[in-house]
Structures are given as structure tokens and as C-alpha cells.
């Protein structure tokens, strides 16, 4: 039996927070922050990272408005997700990311992480929070 990880992205124009599940797909772990370059380089990097880490599914945080409706950022994220799925040949799904950055910021504050270091860790911790929500929601199904 072969095990696979799930990769999660907190997608932004300048940075992408990346997290992975373990091979049993139980826990979510922050991995890194990728600094965006040019679209094809970004897609290539993320695709290679997914394949290198034996990923079977990519979860992307979906930035819905607070009332749950789609907005311009939602459409940009969906477009990126469909490009990544086509490029990597790995299925992409979306998970509501509302308040994940706020939750990540609070965790970093509670752990007394300096404001400078918080900025450097926020996106990857947000990706882990989004992935954790995805894993928990999947268990309920």
C-alpha cells in the first residue's frame, strides 16, 4: 500500500504559504513560504514540490467574502488552481480560508513570535490551518 501526502497552499500575489499533511493524512504541518516570481516558474516549482513529496491532492485556501460569497480574489485563486491542476496533473480542491490568517496571527502572538518573524511565518501557518480544516471536514463526511 502506498501512502500519499496532501499539499495545501495559502495563495497570494507575492507569497504562497505551503503546508503538507503526513502520509496518513491526519496532521497538517507548515512547510515554507514561496515568494512568487513569474507564473510558469511558480507553477513549475509547486508542481515539482508536489511530485517530490508524493502528493495526491492539492488543497488551496479559498478567500470568500465574510458573508460566504465569491469576490475578485476568489476568482483569481480559482484561476490559479485550475492552472496548477492542469500543469501538475494533480487534483486541486478548495477549502474556505476565512479567518485562517487571523487565527495564525493569534497563534504566533501567543507564542511570542516577534512581529518581523510573524510576517515570515504567517502564510505557511495559515496554509497548515486551512489544511487542518480540510482534514477535519473530510473526517466528518
pLDDT tens string 47-73: 999 999 999 999 999 988 888 888 999
Q: What angle do CA 44, 74, 130 make, to 5 degrees?
A: 70
Q: Say whether pLDDT at 1 is over 60.
A: no
Q: In what order do the strands lie in the sheet with 15-21?
A: 28-35, 15-21, 5-11, 55-62, 92-96
- For residue 75, name the pLDDT band (cuts at 50, 70, 90): very high
How confident is the model over 114-133, as a mean pLDDT?
Answer: 81
Please give the helix or strand (H or E) that residue 11 lies within, else none.
Answer: strand 5-11
Which CATH architecture is the domain 5-140 placed in?
A: 2-Layer Sandwich (3.30)
What residue segments make up the domains of the chain, in order of their start?
Answer: 5-140
Percentage of the chain beyond pLDDT 70 is 86
Taking Cα atoms as reference points, which of 6, 136, 5, 111 lies closest to residue 60?
6
- Classify burial at 85, counting beta carbons within 10 Å of its beta carbon; exposed 0-12, middle 13-18, buried 19 or more: middle
Pairing, β 92-96 against β 15-21: unpaired
In this prediction, residue 118 carries a pLDDT of 64
Amino acid at each position: 500500500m502506498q501512502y500519499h501526502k496532501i499539499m495545501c497552499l495559502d495563495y497570494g500575489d507575492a507569497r504562497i504559504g505551503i503546508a503538507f499533511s503526513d502520509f496518513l493524512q491526519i496532521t497538517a504541518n507548515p512547510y515554507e513560504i514561496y515568494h512568487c516570481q513569474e507564473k510558469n516558474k511558480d507553477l513549475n516549482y509547486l508542481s515539482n514540490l508536489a511530485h517530490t513529496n508524493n502528493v495526491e491532492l492539492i488543497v488551496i485556501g479559498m478567500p470568500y467574502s465574510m458573508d460566504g460569497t465569491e469576490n475578485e480574489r476568489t476568482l483569481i485563486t480559482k484561476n490559479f488552481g485550475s492552472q496548477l491542476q492542469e500543469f501538475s496533473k494533480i487534483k486541486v480542491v478548495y477549502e474556505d480560508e476565512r479567518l485562517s490568517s487571523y487565527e495564525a496571527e493569534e497563534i504566533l502572538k501567543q507564542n511570542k513570535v516577534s512581529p518581523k518573524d510573524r510576517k515570515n511565518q504567517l502564510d505557511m501557518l495559515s496554509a497548515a490551518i486551512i489544511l487542518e480544516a480540510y482534514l477535519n471536514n473530510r473526517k466528518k463526511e
